Structure 1
Amino acid sequence: MMKIIKSIILILFCASVSQAQSPNDELRNIDSTKPFILTYKKIDSVRLDLTFRYPPKFKKNKKYPAIIFFFGGGWNGGTTEQFKPQAEYFASRGMITVLADYRVKSRHKTTPYEASSDAKSAIRFLRQHAEELNIHTEKIVASGGSAGGHLAAVTGVCPTLDEPDEDLNISSKANALVLFNPVFDNGPEGFCHERMGERWKEISPAHNISKDAPPTIVFLGREDHLIPASVAENYKAKMDEAGCRCDLFLYDDAGHGFFNNYKYDGKFYVETVRETDRFLKSLGYVKGKPKISLNSK
């Protein structure tokens, strides 16, 4: 009798392990013709989701570059709707696009550290399930604005902040970065230094640049009241010194959040998307000329 009980327990244990190691069941029923949502992380009762869009002429036997967007909001709030226009555009250009939710202070009582870990978890999820999602594992772009730009930069240059219980053999590092008025510097003279505590060097992208930093494009308005142009210029100088590509675009008469499609009559939205398109083409992620103008936004 005991042998039978032990056998049943063993079977149940193996089944549970198998289920834990198998892809998310939701991946089996993907409909690539419309946006769909997958949960990439669970923390107690909190579920964090990714919203996917696929290219119009998606082919199941092909691997696609992906771009994941992190919304801004000072790690305090914000929604995935912010980068929906950019996601729709780059899906039309042949990329798999992803809008990432992550923990913020207003909804989850968390700090920038939890948000950074979530961003890394999101990149890791894309790689872990790249086969099912048709994602090219060496062509994952992280993008975001303001605090979301910080999170994207963290996935590219900050070597720590991963969740310790995840499979750290799967990289959480983005292959390229597209950053809109990003928070780069969390040092003593930088943005929200008081929120970072003694570990601030871990979470400050400007203090983690190395020769392995991914190619990066940065957009910033010269009238930004939160991120001075000098911060971006210093970041580019450090990237240049490390031998890494960093394209910097500074815009006159543009304030914080200038890149959103609902600001400045969409002028800077179009300009930044066009330059992003050219940047991604130079990396071999998209083909042809940009397909955006003020009339098409």
Structure 2
Amino acid sequence: MKRIIALLTLLALCGWAEEKKPHPSFVVTYKETPQGELRLHIFNPPKHDAKQKRPAIVFFFGGGWNSGTPSQFYGQSQHLADRGMVAICAEYRTKKTHHTDPRACVMDAKSAMRWVRSNAGKLGIDPDRVAAGGGSAGGHLAAATATLQAFNEPDEDTKTSCVPNALALFNPVFDNSEKGYGHDRVKKYWEEFSPRHNLKKGTPPTIVFLGTKDDLIPVATAQDYQKTMAANGDRCDLHLYKDQTHGFFNKGKMFEETLNETDQFFVSLGWIPPLKK
């Protein structure tokens, strides 16, 4: 009998833990590709309806353009939805699942941004307040939607802009030169592919998070990115975290700290109200 009670208790705790995990409000297909459909995992604010014009953010997961899952940013999405933003985690094609190269990743990221803007009225989103965010290769994709002219899906209507109104980049691999990340995979087209080398005046307000012991992104790269944006008259807030390695923002205290800074960034833009103390 004691074993049965213990088992029932364990099952109840597991069910409670599952309920506590973030879950999207709904999932919708935004693109059909030869390799399969791609979806957006959408988190709505409480009591949200389509008549509202809320700010939004589209997150892109990391994984070296090879693999990954939209659930990487479920935690951040739930928080921002609770704060009044529509938060969206995008699927995109990867090498492992779809046998595609990094160019397809950028095409899909741009398609996702355009789909969200085109459907802003149905989603209750302000099309002029749509941010992009992501970690590692997903950070590259977010930055790519703001900076790269190439890699649009053939026959896609480009009249709707894919350029976000703000960027939240978590240890992004935004330098793809010989000194940067993934150059061997993109060397035939790296100059068109590297956000760092396509920065121009008018790049959206950006916040960047990086650990000082990141083995993929030197601190100097992020500092140079910030200096270039500043020279162009654009805002780039760089937050360095001592002794933190790649992917640090997903872990415990660092998750909370980077999420708080992200929150404050959107407060500074006037997209969400200040947190109540």
- TM-score normalised over the length of structure 1: 0.83
Of residues 103-112 and 34-43 in structure 1, the stretch that sits farther from structure 2 once superposed is 34-43
The structural deviation recorded for 1:44 is 2.1
Q: 1:230 aligns with which of 201, 206, 220?
A: 220
Alignment coverage as a number of residue pairs: 255
Percent of residue pairs bearing the same amino acid type: 50
The structural deviation recorded for 1:257 is 0.4
CA distance in 1, matches of 2:168, 2:276: 16
Deviation per CA, 1:55-81: give whole Å up to 9, x if none: 013143210111111000000001011
Task: Indicate if the aligned counterparts of 1:68 and 1:99 stay in contact, CA closer than 8 A.
Answer: yes
| Alignment correspondent of 1:215 | 205
Q: 1:270 aligns with which of 256, 264, 271?
A: 256
CA distance in 2, matches of 1:158, 1:117: 10
Q: 1:289 aligned to 2:240?
A: no
Of residues 204-213 and 41-50 in structure 1, the stretch that sits farther from structure 2 once superposed is 41-50
Q: 1:76 aligns with which of 62, 66, 75?
A: 66
Q: 1:86 aligned to 2:76?
A: yes
| Alignment correspondent of 2:144 | 154
| Alignment correspondent of 1:11 | none
The structural deviation recorded for 1:197 is 2.6
Deviation per CA, 1:101-138: give whole Å up to 9, x if none: 00000011111110011000000000111111111001
Query: What residue ranges of structure 2 are gaps of 5+ in the alignment?
Result: 1-22
| Alignment correspondent of 1:108 | 98
| Alignment correspondent of 1:14 | none
The structural deviation recorded for 1:45 is 4.7
Task: Indicate if the aligned counterparts of 1:119 and 1:155 stay in contact, CA closer than 8 A.
Answer: yes
Task: Indicate if the aligned counterparts of 1:277 and 1:290 stay in contact, CA closer than 8 A.
Answer: no
Query: What residue ranges of structure 1 are gaps of 5+ in the alignment?
Result: 1-32, 292-297
Q: 2:164 aligns with which of 153, 156, 174?
A: 174
CA distance in 1, matches of 2:43, 2:24: 7
CA radius of gyration, larger in: 1
Task: Indicate if the aligned counterparts of 2:27 and 2:41 stay in contact, CA closer than 8 A.
Answer: yes
Counterparts of residues 23-102 of structure 1 (less than 5 Å): 35-102=25-92
Whichever residue aligns with residue 116 of structure 2, its letter is: L
| Alignment correspondent of 1:137 | 127
The structural deviation recorded for 1:198 is 2.2
What SS does the corresponding residue of 1:198 show, helix, strand or coil? coil
The structural deviation recorded for 1:34 is 6.2
What SS does the corresponding residue of 1:39 show, helix, strand or coil? strand
- TM-score normalised over the length of structure 2: 0.89
Q: 1:120 aligns with which of 106, 110, 122?
A: 110
Of residues 281-290 and 33-42 in structure 1, the stretch that sits farther from structure 2 once superposed is 33-42
Q: 1:193 aligned to 2:179?
A: no
**CA gap 1:278/1:164 in 2 versus in 1, 3 angstroms:** same
Whichever residue aligns with residue 274 of structure 1, its letter is: N
CA RMSD of aligned residues (A): 1.4
Task: Indicate if the aligned counterparts of 1:278 and 1:290 stay in contact, CA closer than 8 A.
Answer: no
CA distance in 2, matches of 1:34, 1:82: 12
CA distance in 1, matches of 2:120, 2:108: 18
**CA gap 1:221/1:211 in 2 versus in 1, 3 angstroms:** same
